[in-house]
A and B are shown apart, each in its own frame.
Chain A
Amino acid sequence: MKEVIVQPEKCVGCMQCMVACATAHSQTKQLYTAILETPLPKPRIHVGAGVFNEGFPNRCRHCDPAPCMQACLGGAIFRDTATGTVLIDPDRCINCASCAMACPYGVIRFHEDCVAPPGKVVAVKCDNCDQRQSQGVVPACVEVCKTGALIFDEMTDAMKEKTNAVARSVSSGAETYPVSPVFALFKASKKAQLAVQ
């Protein structure tokens, strides 16, 4: 089964995934109308500033066992056994923030949402775009990512590719750039910016 795989070293912090995510979780699914909706759709993927203020795409890992699920006071967090996705039932959620206290990655937010009862603030996080996936469409964040920081792949294949890249980089006659030099340049410029500040 394919899943969203994050390669933070390739993130340039453009935040297009956030916009796409919010749009995908809106009522109208179109950016131009989504921004006029109430409640305003919000992203479930969060690009934070990394060590050198480079982008860091942060989304739910759908841990197993999931600390948020164990901590949920109302039994609102559950796992879809078919896909392994950890989901939050907005009707059961009591907005207690126990999940935020348990999440070691800090990916849960609290706000109104179009799938929640109107006016109710609930815990919201990545649902692996289960709706899109059921229609055979890849998750929205992957669809818009231009740099390959977010890919949709079999975990075993992605792991193999990473292992091969590491092997190549330490072999004699290795390719010099397993990752495009643009990323190294980008990181260097971010570091320089930070140093100047």
Chain B
Amino acid sequence: MKYSIIGNGIAGVCAAETIRQLDRAAEITLIGDETFPPYSRPMISHVLDGSLSSEKLPIRSSRFYDDLKIIPVLGSRVSAIDVDRRVLTTTDRKETTYDKLLIATGADARPVVAKGVDLKNIFYMRTEAHIRSIIECLPTAETALVLGGGLVGFKAAHGLLKRGLKVTMLITSGYPLSMQVDETAGQMILAELLKSGLTVRVGTSVMAFEGKGKVKRARLSDDSTLSCDMVIVGKGVSPSLAFVPKEKIKIDHGILVDHHLQTTIPDVFAAGDVAEAVDITRKRRWINAIWPEAAAQGCVAGANMAGRHVVYPGSVSRNVMRVMALDVMTLGLVNPPDDFGYKVMAHADRRRGRYRKLVFRDNVLVGAMLINDIDQGGILLSLIQNEIPLKIPDRVLMDPSFNFGKLIA
């Protein structure tokens, strides 16, 4: 059996490992754009802030491909898939045939829409290569502008601050992490950011970048200008699927997959940030472009490709981050739609920097947000993922002393 996997991110790597476990004789080809050994994408920010060298990024040994007898085709992108002939074409016009295919190309940083984006020293922060070019630029920069108040924006701002730059963070919405948290938490996080020496401007976006060759200024939506020597854009990601034959493989925002992670074409699977599966809490199709789901999907897709019937239960959006003195964990549906049927419990203790919010639907936990006291968050996630109806009073989950023992009556 000939397996081809496009993408050597965590989904592709997990799929390859699973296939090898189940099918010793399989011929596995892994086509990857990046030549760096399989590494931890979420950790690149630690290279930016100087706490980690890039040699520490790989999460598999340098012998990974040899050990698993995988044929690596690195540094090349797939340009076309012929699903009828089962042939892949790469940008260097080489053709590869396959019996089963996994598309795990992930997502690319969403480009910023503004004039002058072609100027030098405007960066994205998605790959190890991006980080390398950002670090190369650091000695020439004193002030930096970070676009986006999401996770990438956070990590970029934190890293640049640690490198001694003056950093301004520009957030289009009214408070940071607006996609993950509610306003109460957003304001707590904003206060924490300001305390750290960061300049934050909310409700503002960039209209244009100016400078001679290199970026020197940004013109903002409120008509003011801001001088900056470099810019990092963190405006989210979008699935990399330009090469996917859309008339054959059905696409919404991402590649549509069924509960075995198979696309609308038999023997073609998709996993990771490029795949659009079902969100357990939202009860609809959704892409949760996060590392743990990509890893889980890679394993499930690999097992199904190798002939086992493994069901992917759906994804749950989640994130955990440490913002200076605040530990922030968000799980599932934190901001439920203004709809009937949701019960929200929230308690903020600003003095101690604590906030706890739980969202229930029909006695099932569907969302949670914790600021500090995050140790027990995994139990809440497990309740959400498995849609377990609560048998104990819901207020017990609100108590900071909540622990696994409370669930065993």
- Which A residues contact B (CB, under 8 angstroms)? 8, 46, 48-51, 55-56, 58, 67, 70-71, 73-75, 92, 94-106, 108-110
Contacts and interface: CB of A to CB of B under 8 A. Distances in A.
Contact of B379 (A8, A55, A96, A104): A104
22 contacts: A8-B405, A49-B405, A49-B406, A51-B392, A56-B403, A75-B59, A94-B51, A96-B42, A96-B322, A97-B320, A98-B291, A98-B320, A100-B374, A101-B378, A102-B292, A103-B378, A104-B379, A104-B382, A105-B404, A106-B378, A106-B404, A110-B375
Contacts of A103: 378-379
Contact of B42 (A70, A73, A106, A110): A73
B52 A94 contact: yes
B318 A101 contact: yes
Contacts of A110: 375
Interface string B282-319: 00000000011001100100000000000000000010
A94 B331 CA distance: 21
B403 A48 contact: yes
Interface string B17-50: 0000000000000000000000010110010000
A107 B46 CA distance: 25
A58 B321 CA distance: 25
A50 B408 contact: yes
B40 A100 contact: no
A70 B299 CA distance: 10
Given A51-B392, A67-B378, A96-B322, 20 more contacts: A48-B401, A48-B403, A48-B406, A49-B405, A50-B406, A50-B408, A51-B405, A51-B409, A56-B406, A58-B403, A73-B42, A75-B59, A94-B43, A94-B52, A96-B321, A99-B378, A101-B377, A101-B381, A106-B376, A106-B404
B295 A70 contact: yes
Contacts of B56: 74, 92
Q: Which of B60, B299, B379 has the most CB of A within 10 A?
A: B379
A97 B51 CA distance: 17
Q: Chain B interface: which size bin?
A: 35 or more
A86 B176 CA distance: 36
Contacts of A58: 403-405
Interface in B346-377: 374-377
Contacts of A67: 378
A94 B291 CA distance: 15
A104 B379 CA distance: 4
A79 to B, nearest CB: 14
Nearest to A97: B320
Interface of B: 40, 42-43, 46, 51-52, 56, 59-60, 291-292, 295-296, 299, 318, 320-322, 327, 329, 331, 374-379, 381-382, 392, 401, 403-406, 408-409
B291 A102 contact: no
A106 B318 contact: no
Given A51-B392, A102-B292, A108 B375 contact: yes
Nearest to A67: B378
B156 to A, nearest CB: 16
Q: Which of A55, A58, A70, A106 has the most CB of B within 10 A?
A: A106
Contacts of B322: 95-97
A71 B385 CA distance: 15
Contacts of B375: 100, 106, 108-110
A70 B378 CA distance: 13
Nearest to B59: A75
B379 A51 contact: no
B405 A97 contact: no
Contacts of B318: 101
A58 B59 CA distance: 30
A60 to B, nearest CB: 12
B404 A48 contact: yes
A51 B408 CA distance: 7
A102 B381 contact: yes
A71 B382 CA distance: 13
Contacts of A50: 405-406, 408
A55 B405 CA distance: 8
A3 B322 CA distance: 35
A143 B42 CA distance: 41
B379 to A, nearest CB: 5
A183 B288 CA distance: 47
A101 B401 contact: no
A105 B405 contact: no
Contacts of A96: 42, 320-322
Contacts of A109: 375
Nearest to A56: B405
A106 B408 contact: no
B131 to A, nearest CB: 15
B56 to A, nearest CB: 8
Nearest to A106: B376
Given A97-B329, A104-B379, A105-B378, A8 B408 contact: yes
